[in-house]
Amino acid sequence: MSGYRIKPGKGISALSAVVALGMGIFGLLFLLPMFGSAGGGAGGAFALLWVIVAFGMAAFYGYNALSERGASLVDLDEPTRSPPSGPSHLPSADFEARLRKLDALRRDGLITDSEYQAKRSEILAERW
């Protein structure tokens, strides 16, 4: 199976890491002391969660910015598909378009009559 990895680019990852690091430092220097001195409770839990999430984001985006492979936000797996064998996968419109294109090439003098006949026979053989 082939897959696709969707991840932020290096530039936006570096910017996000710096912003998240700033948020984490803000949480450490201001939120934790402010809510911690107020008796903890829900405010202290919020400040602690803020710091953990901010430093987690900084680590994730920092890894993306500094490593070659990076961490993807989404990994998508797609089954490998092989095209149908034989000419049966060509729709009728495609068949007609190929013949019209071949005729236009001959009219414009880009291919000779013998090349036109050979390719036309090949296309018609695919059709039938």
Cβ neighbours of residue 50 closer than 8 Å, sequence gap 6 or more: 23, 27, 31
pLDDT value at residue 41: 76
Cβ–Cβ < 8 Å for 100, 106: no
pLDDT value at residue 1: 46
Q: Catalogue the long-range contacts made by 43-52 (C-beta closer than 8 Å, 24 or more residues apart).
A: 50/23, 51/24, 51/27
Count Cβ atoms below 10 Å from residue 25 Cβ, excluding itself. 14
Percent of the chain with pLDDT over 90: 38
Which of 3-12, 39-48, 90-99, 116-125 has the lowest average pLDDT? 90-99
pLDDT value at residue 27: 93
pLDDT tens digits for range 22-75: 999 999 999 888 887 766 678 888 889 999 999 999 999 999 889 887 777 777
Count Cβ atoms below 10 Å from residue 56 Cβ, excluding itself. 12
Task: Look at the pTM and tell me if it is higher than 0.75.
Answer: no
**CA–CA gap between residue 114 and residue 127 (Å, rounded):** 20
- Split at pLDDT 50, 70, 90, the class of 4 is confident
Beta strands in the chain (DSSP E): 2-6, 74-78
Nearest alpha carbon to residue 48 among 66, 31, 25, 60: 31
